[in-house]
Amino acid sequence: MKTETTIQGLAASLQPARAARKTIGFVPTMGNLHEGHLTLVREAKKICDVVVVSIFVNPIQFGPNEDFDSYPRTLDQDSQLLAEVGCDIIFAPSVEQMYGSKPRLTNISVSEITADLCGLQRPGHFDGVAVVVTKLFNMVQPNYAFFGEKDYQQLAVIRQFVRDLNIPLEVIGVPIVRAADGLALSSRNGYLSAEQRQIAPTIYQSLKAAAQALQQGETLSQVLANIKATLTAAGFVVDYVEARTTELQKIEAFSEDLVLFVAAKLGNTRLIDNLQVKHSA
């Protein structure tokens, strides 16, 4: 496994694979890797000859009051984990390497599907994601790129701009990896106190209960209200509880496959989760 910190070094490391027309898989991350990320790498290894994992805490996707400075940087530990799952190249650039010294004037924005859910509380967040992911795609030029369904809205945004801009790669979404008690794995789980960590699985429990209630004929609005009540009672400050179609369109009733979305804070830590609910026609 090689670790590259410059765009030029990355290009040099990828050159033999490109010349041999090998299949390149790409897993963009912000580091502080957990089993969710490692699952992405394992999925990439299954269908790609060479797997690149980027580790870059992207400043332009954090809002002014978000956790950019405190976001955990754990490169040594991440490298060890990536070596174990067969990553071929780590790309870990500095902010200077990614954004250069001249001002960036270009922005990429995706409308409509960024307007609510996490987009509402995090203005500019998905623009920052779109810009950095596009830059990374252009550096790595992978055949396949892997993203977790945990950040479902992010995955939808990436699918959208890849299609709209004809970026020549296939985006692959990978199901959420959960702890034994159901909590969706996230780097931000590390911010939780022992007590908060006990409460956190309530999100998944309430989503599961909601899916079951929907299947049993409870109305969508009642089900969403129940999730909110459960979380509030457990000590969360709920940001949103919403249902959308799998393509993030608004939906009023359980009339087709849908996705339930939750964002809620425990103390200062904002957790998100989602659950797809199949509709049997």
Residue tagged 């252009």 (tokens): 138
C-alpha count within 13 angstroms, C-beta hemisphere, residue 27: 28
Instruction: For residue 37, indicate whether it is catalytic.
Output: yes
Interface with a copy of itself, residue 216, by CB under 8 A: no
Window 2-41: contact mask with a copy of itself (x via CB under 8 A) = -----x-----------x-x--------------------
Q: 187 a known binding residue?
A: yes
Question: Between 1 and 167, whose beta carbon lies closer to a copy of itself?
Answer: 167
d(CA 265, CA 250) in angstroms, rounded, equals 23
CB of 80 to a copy of itself, least distance (A): 29
d(CA 69, CA 265) in angstroms, rounded, equals 19
Interface with a copy of itself, residue 227, by CB under 8 A: no
Window 171-200: contact mask with a copy of itself (x via CB under 8 A) = ------------------------------
- Give Cβ neighbours of residue 269 (< 8 Å, ≥ 6 apart): 188, 189, 191, 192, 196
Window 234-253: contact mask with a copy of itself (x via CB under 8 A) = --------------------
Give the residues across from 3 on adjacent strands.
90
Assigned token pair, 11? 């290009």
- Give Cβ neighbours of residue 144 (< 8 Å, ≥ 6 apart): 23, 24, 25, 26, 44, 47, 48, 169, 170, 171, 172
Residue tagged 């809002």 (tokens): 63
Question: Between 21 and 46, whose beta carbon lies closer to a copy of itself?
Answer: 21
Interface ranges with a copy of itself (CB under 8 A): 7, 19, 21, 100, 102, 104-113, 130-131, 134-135, 138-139, 141, 160-161, 163-168
> Which segments are annotated as binding site?
30-37, 61, 148-151, 154, 177, 185-188
